[in-house]
Structures are given as C-alpha cells and as structure tokens.
Chain A
Amino acid sequence: MTIPIKTSMASMWPLTRPRVAMALALATVCAASVASLEHPRNVPFAFAFIPLTTSVIMWLRAAEGPLKTTARLVTLYLLFLPINEAMSVHVSLCAGGSQIHLAFGVIVLLGLVLARLFDTDNAGTTDDDEVSSGVMRAWLVAVAIIAAHVVLLRGLLDAWYGYGFERDVPVLGALCAYYLIFRLLWQRSGNEIWRRLACVLSSLYYLALVLH
C-alpha cells in the first residue's frame, strides 16, 4: 500500500491558511506598533521596562493549566497597549483625488477580521473550554457595566446639569472595538508558536520605547 504524498500547491493550501492567518494577525499588531511609535503618544509609558521584561518572560514555554491561561491574558495585554496608542492615529488616504481620513483602529480591526477569515482551524468553532467561556462572559459583563454607567450618567447628569456627553459614544465604540480584537485574538493566543512570536514582537516594541 502506498501513501499518497501531497505535493501540489492546492493540497498545501489548507495547511497554509492558518499560517497566513497567524502572519496577518501579527502583521496587523506590528503595523499598530509602528504607527504608535511614529506618532506622539498621548499615554506616556512611565516604566516601559515592565512590559519589556514581561514580554521576554512570556517567551518561555507556559505549561498547561492556570499558567497558560495567565500567559494568554498577559500576551493579549501586551498587544493591547500599542493598539491603544494606535487607536488615536489617523491615516490619510488619497482616493479619486480626495483625501480620506481613516482611524487606525479601523485598519487594526480589518486586518484581524481578514486574519480570522483565513483561520480555518478555528472558523465555526466556539470556545467550549470552561476558562475560555468564563473569560468571554466576563468581557460581555465588563462592557455591560460600562454601558450601564454611561446610560445612567446620561439620564442623571443630563437632567441635573444639562451639559454635553460628547465622549459617550466613542467610549462605547472603543470598548466594542477592544472586545472584537480580544475575540479575534483569544483563540490564536492559545497557539504556543503564535504566543511566542507575539511576545518577540512585543519585546521589540517595548525595547524601542525604552530606547526612545
């Protein structure tokens, strides 16, 4: 009996798609990091050596169980910080002779959505792991808590003082954007290779911050 060896590009494609997804997700985060480094920061990193040290520690292999869950969360936290900085950056694009200003947050989301589309390994699957579902529920509750406060503030303070709430919608928008980013990256962060690569990139970013 002979075992067929898959050599054509078409047969390699299913194996390559998750890697493309992985590369796309990391490239998106890289782009956010570069964008945040190139623009003046609105949130100063007073002690950038803390995330730098942490991202180096995160290179180490995390065992199964609580340590791995903590490592996944910390990795995403390290990636969230440059994305936070890049959110306030606007990119100008020339299209048909007119200038289009695009918030970098939209580009981050688009990049990650694209990565998710390529991610055949996880497409259509749900987080049935107890820890994952616990974290996801916590996300929804956390966003609901902030949303409830915003609604309450609008109802009470508007009635008492009658001044504007210009920031309400952007706050909720930012929370939803971070929820989507977390949702898109959470399963990826369970992949050991992806997690380590993300930490290497984070280390470079925080090293650049320290040297800066």
Chain B
Amino acid sequence: MSSREQYRIQERSPTSAFAARTVVVLASLALILSAFHFWPFDASRAWQTIGPTNVTVMALVAMMVLFALRNPRQLREYAPHVSVMAYVVITVLSLTFAPKLSRGLSFSGKLVLIAIGGYAAFMFAASTRRGLQALYAAATAAWALAVGGCVIGRLFFARDFGFFTEASKYGSYVAILTPLCGATMLTSPRLPGKLVGMLLIAATAVSAGTVGCILAVVVGLCVAAISLGRHAWPVGLALLFCFIGVVMLWHAQFISPLRGDARLSEKDGTNLRQQYIEWQALVNLLEERTATGSGAGCMNEYRSEYYYRLPKLNTLDPFNQNGWLTIAAETGILGLVCFVWMMSYHMTMAWRTRHRSRPAWVRRYGVANLAALAGACVAQAFSSFLFNGVLIVAILALSLAQAVALRLEDSSDDAQMPYRQIPARDSGSTVPLRER
C-alpha cells in the first residue's frame, strides 16, 4: 500500500485504518459466504439462524453501529437513501397486521439489519477505490462459487442447484450477480477477463433452473449492451454463447430443471403455471387489503382465502412468489410504492453514472450496476429477492449504484478519497456533497 493511500485511510479518522480494512474484509467475506447459502446443513433451523453468513453480517452491522456511536456524522454519511429507509419503515409498520409477530419480526429484523446496516457497511467499504474493487472481486468469487457449485453438484452429487436447495433462490442470486460481475468482466481491458466472464455467463445460462432467471440475465446483459453502445461486442458474444449452450443442451439431462419450468405444467412445486395461480390470489388479496397488506412475512396466513382454485401441488413459499406482488400483498400499496421508489432511484443513479462520469473505470462500474438492477427487477417478477443471501447481493447492487454515483467527479484514476463532489441536477455547477 502506498504511503499516500495509507495516509488517506488514516485521514478518514476517527475510524482507524485497521477498522476500515476490517469492514472491507468482513463485507467481502459476507458476500463470498452468501454463495454457500445454508449448505451443508440445509434443514437445520439453528444453522439458518447462526450460520457463518449471518454471523459475518451481524459482526459487520455491529462494527457500523460502533462507528456510528463514535462519530455520528459517519452515520449520516453512509446511511441508506431515504427511499430505503421509507421502505423499511413501512415494512416494520405493517407488522400491525401480522397474526404471528414472531414470523413478521424475523423477516423484518433481517431486512432492517441488511438494508440499513449492510447498506451502510457496503457504502463504507466502497468509499475507497481499493475497497470498491474488493467488493466487486468478492461478488465475482461468490458468483463463480454459486455457478461452479451448481454445475459440479448437478454432474456429480445429484444436487440440482449446488449449494442452494431451491431453483428460485439460485435463480435470483445469479440473476443479480451475473449482470453485475459479467458486465464488469466483459468490459475489462484484459482479454482473459473477458473470456472468463463469457464462460461464467454461459455456465449460468445452462445451470439456471427457471425461465425467470434466464430472462433476468438476458435483460441485464441487454441493458449493459445498450449502455455500452459500440463497445458492446463482448456482451453480444456472451449472449450468443448462452443461446448456443441452452439450445445444444436442451435435450440433455443436465438442463432438465429448466425444461420442467418451461413446460408450463403443474408437475413440480414452482413452475410458471403454478405461479400464475398464486399471482391471482395476491391480486385478489389486494382488493380487500390495498393499504394494510397482510403484514411483512405473513402473506401465507391469509393467502388461502383468496384463491380461485388451489394449485394441484402444495402452495408456493413466499420466496417463490412474484416479488412485486408479494411486497404489495404484505406491506400494502404504499410499501410497493416505496420499494419501486428505492429501485428506480438507484437505477437512476447508475444511469447517471454511465452518462456523466469521466473516468473509464467509473463508467464500467456504472454499466455493471445498472445491468444488475435491471436483472434484479426482472428476477423479482419470478421470485422475491428479500430472503437470506439473495437479499445481501441485492443490497450490494443498490449500495454500489449509490457509492459509484457519488464518485462521479472523482476523476483521478488513483484517487482514494471518496465522495468529493457531485454535479447538481440539471445544472452545470457542482455542489459539495460530503465534507470531511
């Protein structure tokens, strides 16, 4: 580490350089561990609560709380955008209607921890360029682990989705990470980076178990291609590899989960046709509970009253539902509005990064963030990303969009000081954003 960089990390005092590095390490570790989901004790409730991912996230949040107590200014500096806070507050308030407070508290507790504490921690970690690179590297490692685990599990261990037990959870997880890390790798100036990116994207496409996942990846990469303009050829090539891979393997045993999902028959618990029945129940629920919802995490308590007919197999778990409708059904229309606001605000930030920034590396990350959020929006239509490890990567995508956008004017390539100035909207002038 150069003396200049060390000086700047120390300058960020009162947080010590050691503590700052610890946050970066813990944030990266949390991302990598999220790829293992609840493996190897998938059925254990204790492991699901105090597994390594959750423990790491709790340590990360605890560190951010300590920083905030030591210096309240930092709390404001790394706090999530008001749209995130508004969504979290409405979610907590919706517990008014939770028939069982324990279930609602468990769901909203995790959301509060990760959406506020995790967001702040990711923002903090991304406040230096090296920290930002560490986060992208950790996300890429998590993506490679999840996809590699799925391919190996399906080939050798009869586990269709590797470390994940559900097609939809695996689908949502890789649907966010593939555009995020894939676009970063495909825009890399080095050829090996591009090739590895293409390989991983093709592996994601053939290992996906749901049509929603494929659609989210394709939409995410298309958004990246549109943003890149004439430099989009690696993305186009990656999409071509995906198409060829899926077509060639369509009749192979390896791709049978995806084939089952596309068949539109109610022969498993999660296929598209069954999802439509669930969507209808959620829409019906909205008529009576438009403003109130059913309480965060408690949709299943009321949903059965609103089916026109029950699915042939069991009803779907909340995370297998359409995420947009789930949020509306659980937190009411105002909860959905806050969620849409949160997503659209961060997408706008990523879009502005793409268009206004000068340094190539900021543009590159801006494109990746925009692609990841577009992929997340599509994936959300087929399953909810507000659960477990998927929530961690979703919050990562949001916080990175914000963190990179705040570095718009940080044009020096080796700059370490974050968040200097941001141009005022619709004017050429600049306003100081964060003063230290």
The answer to whether A and B come from one shared complex is yes
Query: Which chain B positions have C-beta within 8 A of A161?
Result: 308-309
Residue A141 interfacial (CB < 8 Å): yes
Docked complex Cα distance between A48 and B292 (Å): 12
Contact residues of A: prevailing secondary structure: helix
Query: Which stretch, A17-25, A78-86, A118-126, touches the partner chain B?
Result: A78-86
- Interface membership of B345, Cβ < 8 A: yes
A130-151 contacts to B (CB < 8 Å): 130-131, 134-135, 137-139, 141-142, 145-146, 149-150
Does the CB pair B340–A141 fall under 8 Å?
yes
Contact A50 B340 (CB under 8 A): no
CB pair A142 B86 closer than 8 Å: no
Q: Does B97 lie within 8 Å of A69, measured CB to CB? A: no
Of chain A, the residue at the smallest CB distance from B340 is A138
- In the complex, what distance in Å separates the CA atom of A50 from the CA atom of B108? 14
- Listed residue (B96, B277, B280, B308) with the most chain A CB atoms within 10 angstroms of its CB: B96
CB contacts (< 8 Å) of A87 on chain B: these are: 290
Q: Is there an interface contact between A142 and B287, defined as CB atoms closer than 8 Å?
A: no
- Smallest CB-CB separation from B335: which chain A residue? A77
Would A174 and B290 count as touching, CB distance under 8 A? yes
Given the known inter-chain contacts A149-B322, A153-B280, A157-B280, please indicate yes or no for A51 contacting B337, CB distance below 8 A.
no
> Majority SS of interface residues in chain B?
helix
* CB neighbours of A130 from chain B (8 A): 425
Size of the chain B interface, CB-CB below 8 angstroms: 47
Interchain CA distance A171-B98 in the complex, whole Å: 22
- Is there an interface contact between B283 and A149, defined as CB atoms closer than 8 Å? yes
Query: In the complex where A131-B82, A160-B273 touch, is A145 in contact with B97 (Cβ < 8 A)?
Result: no
* Beta-carbon contacts under 8 Å, A161-181 to B: 161, 163-164, 167-168, 170-171, 174-175, 178
What residues of A have a CB within 8 angstroms of the CB of B391 in the complex? none
Q: Could you tell me if B93 and A46 are in contact, using CB atoms closer than 8 angstroms?
A: no
Contact B288 A69 (CB under 8 A): no
Of A47, A138, A145, A150, the residue contacting B341 (CB under 8 A) is A138
Distance A98 CA – B293 CA, assembled complex (angstroms)? 37
* Neighbouring A residues of B82 by C-beta, 8 Å: 65-66, 69-70, 131
Q: Taking the nearest CB of chain B, how far is it from the CB of A178, in angstroms?
A: 5
- Closest chain B CB from A134 CB (angstroms): 6
Q: How far is the CB of A169 from chain B (nearest CB, A)?
A: 10
- Using A156-B276, A157-B276 as known contacts, say yes or no to A43 and B289 having CB atoms under 8 A apart: yes
Q: Does B324 contact A (CB under 8 A)?
A: yes
Contacts A47-B98, A73-B338, A142-B340 hold; do A134 and B345 have CB atoms under 8 A apart?
Answer: yes
B328 A146 Cβ-Cβ under 8 A: yes
Interface assignment of B333: CB less than 8 Å from any CB of chain A: yes
Q: Assess whether B212 is interfacial by the CB under 8 Å rule.
A: no
Contact with A along B75-109 (1 / 0, CB 8 A): 00001011101100110010111110100000000
B336: CB under 8 A from chain A? Answer: yes
B337 near A54 with CB under 8 A, answer: no
CB contacts (< 8 Å) of B322 on chain A: these are 149
What's the least CB distance linking B74 to chain A, in Å? 16
If A80-B334, A161-B309 touch, whether A178 touches B425 (CB-CB below 8 Å) is no
Q: Are A50 and B96 in contact (CB under 8 A)?
A: yes
CA–CA, A164 and B280, complex, Å: 11
Q: Does B256 contact A (CB under 8 A)?
A: no
- CB < 8 Å: which of A43, A47, A160 contacts B101? A47
In the complex, which residues of chain A have a beta carbon less than 8 angstroms from the beta carbon of B111? Answer: none
Inside 8 A of A182's CB, which chain B residues have their CB? 334, 337
Cα distance A83–B334 when bound, in Å? 13
- Any B CB within 8 A of the CB of A42: yes
Asked whether A146 lies within 8 Å of B286 as measured between CB atoms, the reply is yes
**Docked complex: B277-310 residues within 8 A CB-CB of A:** 277, 279-280, 283-284, 286-292, 295, 308-309
Bound together, the chains give a CA A175 to CA B81 distance in angstroms of 26
Q: Across the A-B interface, how many residue pairs have beta carbons closer than 8 Å? A: 142
By a CB distance below 8 angstroms, the chain A residues around B309 are 161, 163
Within the complex, which residue of B79, B93, B277, B340 is in contact with A74, where a contact is CB–CB below 8 Å? B93
Contact B291 A141 (CB under 8 A): no
Residue interface mask A36-70, B partner, CB < 8 A = 1: 00000011111110110010000000000110011
Q: Shortest CB–CB separation between residue A66 and chain B, in angstroms? A: 4
Contact status B276-A171, CB under 8 Å: no
Contact for B86 among A44, A73, A141, CB less than 8 A: A73
Set of chain B residues within 8 Å of A81, measured between Cβ atoms: 96, 291-292
- Cα(A84)–Cα(B291), bound, Å: 6
- Measured in the bound complex, the distance between the Cα atoms of B277 and A112 in whole Å is 37
A197: Cβ under 8 A from any B Cβ: no
Closest to A137 in B: B344
Q: Are A83 and B96 in contact (CB under 8 A)?
A: no
Given contacts A54-B93, A83-B291, A167-B284, contact A149 B279 (CB under 8 A): yes
Q: A76 within 8 Å of B by Cβ? A: yes
Q: With contacts A142-B333, A149-B322 known, what are 13 further pairs, Cβ within 8 A?
A: A45-B96, A47-B96, A50-B93, A51-B96, A70-B85, A70-B89, A145-B340, A152-B276, A156-B276, A160-B273, A171-B287, A174-B286, A175-B290
What is A's interface to B at a CB cutoff of 8 Å? 42-48, 50-51, 54, 65-66, 69-70, 73-74, 76-77, 80-81, 83-84, 87-88, 130-131, 134-135, 137-139, 141-142, 145-146, 149-150, 152-153, 156-157, 160-161, 163-164, 167-168, 170-171, 174-175, 178, 182
Residues of B within 8 A of A (CB): 79, 81-83, 85-86, 89-90, 93, 95-99, 101, 273, 276-277, 279-280, 283-284, 286-292, 295, 308-309, 322, 324-325, 328, 332-334, 336-338, 340-341, 344-345, 425
Q: What are 25 A-B contacts defined by CB distance under 8 Å? A: A43-B292, A45-B97, A46-B96, A47-B95, A51-B96, A70-B86, A74-B93, A76-B334, A77-B332, A80-B291, A84-B291, A87-B290, A134-B341, A135-B341, A138-B338, A142-B337, A156-B276, A157-B280, A163-B308, A163-B309, A164-B308, A167-B287, A170-B287, A171-B287, A182-B334
